[in-house]
Structure 1
Amino acid sequence: MLGSQRITRRSLLAGSAAAPLAAAGLGTSSPLRAQALVHSGPYEPTWESLGGHRPPSWFDDAKLGIFVHWGIFSVPAWAPRGEYAEWYPSRMRDPNNPTHAYHRQTYGAGFAYRDFIPMFRAQRWDPAQWTDLFAAAGAGYVVPVGVHHDGFPLWDTATTTWNSATMGPRRDILRELGDAVRARGLHYAPSYHQLLNYYAPEYDAPHPGYLSEKYLREWLRPQVRELVEDIGTEMLWLDGDWMATAEDFGTRELVAWYYNRAAARGDGVLVNDRLGQVRSQHGDFYTQEYDHDTGQGPDHKWENTRGCGLSFGYNTNEPAEDYLTLDELVTLFVDTVAHWGNLLLNVGPRADGTIDDTQTALLRGLGRWLSVNGEGIHGTRAWRVQRGRTADGLETRYTTRDSGERVYVFLLGRPGTTVTLPAADLPPLRRDHRVRLLGHGRPLHWASRGDTVVVDLPTPRDQPVHCLELREV
């Protein structure tokens, strides 16, 4: 990773996203109020009422979701190292960003972002093949970007003819993918990113009404309702929230409507914290993105989202060293789950609908690791201790299930023939406790020695993280 040089979504606002909005007289300081969505039920549009919502257990059990950033931006598929390729339509208009020069040199100054639409064909896309890969990775849910900040919805929306069903691929991508995902028994939750609009293809510019009441009434709310009522999304995964307050967006009313509708139907739904400048304050789960909003922990359910590399959208300018290794991915995943988080791992497909070998290998490698160690991941909860070290310095992480009757100790690395654990990090061990290494059939010999527990290990298989189960028989 590029550390402090990483370009986050918030820092990108210093560039071309803010300038067109200001030029259009649509700055973020306008006092805007959305009309309430009326839907009777137990939830009111107040933080206190919404805070009483209980999310479904499937989300906590799943641990792993797959994010998919795919769209017009997948055609140029380019960004400077460390930047997000899906921000191409914004950065190509910023003379201070390398994307501006790249676009002119590659496509010409007169080539508009919307001119990429006929090149976004998805001619090799097979939603069932995608879903097979996601399931093989061990994912429990899929979050495709329904519409990014570029204003091109990937479903047959009534709000604009500029969408994937009428242009480009001429396919209702969200509906087709949803059918495939649900057929595999996975949960489905297309995301919505139009809390920030820096481009609308029909105008070849930011939406002229962005953040106005008309924008909320005729664009934002109808599109969210289509995702909920027509496509069927099991969570509101929103983004662009830093541009205005929750009051400006009317998200409290939107969430109350969503919760009440689900309650009436007996559906289990949930909402992230990107509701309008309230991250890590409100929402069923908080979100972390790369090095932004870090420091999440077991006090509130959260989700860690990032790409296999440093971009969400596919970036042909990203070298192999910018991608996670399998060791890094597994370690990140285990660390996230131990601290009561989920990992929402992004893939960025090519414009033709294929996923490159590097990302595919990472997903399959994670799935192979989970096929051995998934018992310590799926369906578990945070243990009273999340992290520690063995006597010889190997880092550890912990999870539990069955109300603490089983505790899992993850050894981050490749241990030797014995491992010495602090007894204070473990449940009180008695003679009838069994210790086993996941993937190894026989119970292991263990012994208490003062304030430590020593476990004899078999020759471990070659994998980045090993998992011990401690269980009372």
Structure 2
Amino acid sequence: MKIMICLLMGSLVVPVFGESYKPEWESLLNYEAPEWYEDAKLGFWVHWGVYSVPAFMGDHAGEWYGRWMYSKEGQSSRHNQGLAIHEHHKATYGDPSEFGYKDFIPMFKAEHFNAEEWADLCVEGGAKFFTMMGAHHDSFCLWDTKLSKWNSVNMGPKRDLVGEIEKAVRKKGLKFGVSNHTAWNYGFFQWNHINGYDAKDPAYEDLYGNPIVPEGLDKVTVRPEEQEGKGRWKWFDRSRNLIKPSERDLDRWLARTEELADMYKPDLYYFDWGMNPPEFESRRKEFAAHYYNNAVKFGQGEYGAPNVVLNYKNWKTFKPGSAVRDFERGGMDQIADMVWQTDDCVYNDHNWGYVPGVAIKPTNLIVDQLMDIISKRGVLMLSFAPKADGTFPEDQQVMMRELGAWLEVCGEAVYATRPYEVFGEVGDQWLEKDDYGRKKMTATCEDIRFTRNKENTVLYATFLDWPGEKAVIKTLAGADLSGIKSVKLLGKWRKPKWEVTEQGLEIQMPEKQPKHGMAYPIRIAFAGQVAAPSKK
């Protein structure tokens, strides 16, 4: 808690505030995640920047265009995945020695960007917070930074994109976050540095970084055996670490990271994995203390509960409990002791930035994913991909509105809820895994996810697919259900018939499904506390 002591100095009373955060784990562990965040459940996010201009993913990802455009034959991992972008760049724009990544900046104009329209889409989509891309690995800043000329106010759009959207979303009553991926800037342009393209010019070092580059790396290629099987992942990790950050890279990261926090006072600060290496540890702690202390200083919270969210991606990066852990396209298998976050994208696989003609996920899949996440005490931050001009593709707008329409009907089972004693019932198909070992989000009528209200008087059992004529909640078999007051299917006026059997709570479903056609929450209200599941 914040403690204020008044010292009498003559006729002057000077307030002296008590504890403040220090860049030490013992101090940073005095952190509690905010209730607004755990209540929110869903936030929107964007991947938007200079890479939205070429809008080409090749064999990897559109937002990694600036990395792979400089890579030559055999210089990228996983089946030479970067070569497609390199060849596309040469055919479309010219050799990287003639047309570098910096030359895309004047083409990034954001001429149709309207912050008010973006905020409206967030509200329509049911999001409770919005996270703006501050800068991706390319280090082109979308805010009015005073620390680098490579920003959207000096170049390209000639606008403070972060500042505009911050005002617009807060005006709508949403919380505001920023996303900062610049820690890996030193490594992102690795092949630019190694192959001696425009990164060798000191005039561009604030864009491309100042890494430590050992000699002879221009001869490094992928051995054939490393292109197949498990070896591809080993190479992928090594390809990130061929060069190292300099002290200037590290100091520059901290200065810009603090500036972004100071200027916009974000309620959430998201980091990608680039700050995971041990070289960043002292600066990670320094920033965390700075961010939490600022939140106290600006009245957002107090010591111990600063009321802001700091995300980290690797369990070694921050001590558990000192910040909020994030999982990229993944999550927890069970209910967690502390709120956590999944960051995911409307695109499948690796791509996050806008690429024309690439299909997005069905809204139904996003809803199923959301219910799985929140049943385990998680929050979903879902990324969209605007075009370079600042407009969202039509299919992404449709998804936002479909998601919002479902939440309009079923949001009671989502917002401000907490996990039940068990997260749900899992069907066989959900347990299947894809080629990367991740569980497939393929739900059937056997998949149920539980949430409850904070008062613990209402249980929501959400069937991720339509159960048919009869819904059976097997988790409640043998439980004391004598306190049930009512049972209702959200989205339908008429209350269904229900009975307690040896199989569990059985509910007679209506002939017609709710119009939304996605996950189906059943609201079970109790006269007292929600019944605990049987321990049999």
Q: Is TM (by shorter chain) over 0.5? A: yes
Assess if the C-alpha contact under 8 Å between 1:286 and 1:300 holds in 2: no
Is 1:226 aligned to residue 259 of structure 2?
A: yes
Is 1:216 aligned to residue 250 of structure 2?
A: yes
Is 1:67 aligned to residue 45 of structure 2?
A: yes
Assess if the C-alpha contact under 8 Å between 2:25 and 2:319 holds in 1: no
Q: Which residue of 2 aligns with 1:285?
A: 324
| C-alpha spacing 1:460/1:181, structure 2 compared with 1 (3 Å) | same
Assess if the C-alpha contact under 8 Å between 2:335 and 2:423 holds in 1: no
Deviations 1:71-126 (A, max 9, x none): 10000011125x22111111111124211111111111021111111110111111
Is 1:187 aligned to residue 165 of structure 2?
A: no
Q: Which residue of 2 aligns with 1:48?
A: 26
Is 1:314 aligned to residue 354 of structure 2?
A: yes
Assess if the C-alpha contact under 8 Å between 1:244 and 1:276 holds in 2: no
Q: CA deviation at 1:389?
A: 5.5
AA in 2 matched with 1:424: L
Is 1:472 aligned to residue 526 of structure 2?
A: yes
Q: Which residue of 1 aligns with 2:433?
A: none
Q: Which residue of 2 aligns with 1:76?
A: 54
Is 1:366 aligned to residue 403 of structure 2?
A: yes
C-alpha separation in 2, matches of 1:76 and 1:433: 58
Q: Which residue of 2 aligns with 1:414?
A: 466
Q: Which residue of 1 aligns with 2:366?
A: 329
How high is the TM-score relative to the length of structure 2? Answer: 0.75
Assess if the C-alpha contact under 8 Å between 1:338 and 1:386 holds in 2: yes
Assess if the C-alpha contact under 8 Å between 2:344 and 2:383 holds in 1: yes
Q: CA deviation at 1:48?
A: 3.0
Is 1:273 aligned to residue 312 of structure 2?
A: yes
Matches within 5 A, 1:77-226: 77-81=55-59, 83-96=60-73, 97=82, 98-109=84-95, 110-197=98-185, 198-199=188-189, 202-203=204-205, 206-208=208-210, 211-217=245-251, 219-226=252-259
AA in 2 matched with 1:104: K
Q: Which residue of 2 aligns with 1:461?
A: 514
SS of equivalent residue, structure 1 residue 215: helix
Q: Which residue of 2 aligns with 1:32?
A: none
How high is the TM-score relative to the length of structure 1? Answer: 0.84
Deviations 1:289-339 (A, max 9, x none): 125x764742332111111113211122x532xx21122111111111111
Q: Quick one: which of 477, 486, 497 aligns to 1:434?
A: 486
SS of equivalent residue, structure 1 residue 190: strand
| C-alpha spacing 1:196/1:276, structure 2 compared with 1 (3 Å) | farther
Q: CA deviation at 1:442?
A: 3.3
AA in 1 matched with 2:257: V
SS of equivalent residue, structure 1 residue 144: strand
Assess if the C-alpha contact under 8 Å between 2:477 and 2:501 holds in 1: no
C-alpha separation in 2, matches of 1:426 and 1:167: 66
C-alpha separation in 1, matches of 2:365 and 2:182: 32
Deviates more, 1:422-431 or 1:59-68: 422-431
Q: CA deviation at 1:236?
A: 2.3
Q: RMSD in angstroms over aligned alpha carbons?
A: 2.6
Assess if the C-alpha contact under 8 Å between 2:416 and 2:454 holds in 1: no
Deviates more, 1:381-390 or 1:335-344: 381-390
| C-alpha spacing 1:315/1:427, structure 2 compared with 1 (3 Å) | farther
| C-alpha spacing 1:294/1:336, structure 2 compared with 1 (3 Å) | closer
Structure 1 unaligned spans of 5+: 1-38
Q: Which residue of 2 aligns with 1:452?
A: 504
| C-alpha spacing 1:270/1:438, structure 2 compared with 1 (3 Å) | same
AA in 2 matched with 1:56: P
Count of equivalent residues:
429
SS of equivalent residue, structure 1 residue 272: strand
Q: Which residue of 2 aligns with 1:340?
A: 377
Q: Which residue of 1 aligns with 2:270?
A: 237
Deviations 1:322-359 (A, max 9, x none): x2112211111111111111111101110001110111
| C-alpha spacing 1:189/1:370, structure 2 compared with 1 (3 Å) | same
Assess if the C-alpha contact under 8 Å between 1:144 and 1:191 holds in 2: yes
Matches within 5 A, 1:251-262: 251-262=284-295
Assess if the C-alpha contact under 8 Å between 1:386 and 1:397 holds in 2: yes
C-alpha separation in 1, matches of 2:315 and 2:476: 42
C-alpha separation in 1, matches of 2:116 and 2:27: 40
Q: CA deviation at 1:387?
A: 1.3
Deviations 1:192-224 (A, max 9, x none): 11111134882397311573333333x222212
C-alpha separation in 1, matches of 2:99 and 2:478: 62
C-alpha separation in 1, matches of 2:370 and 2:299: 31
C-alpha separation in 1, matches of 2:487 and 2:389: 49
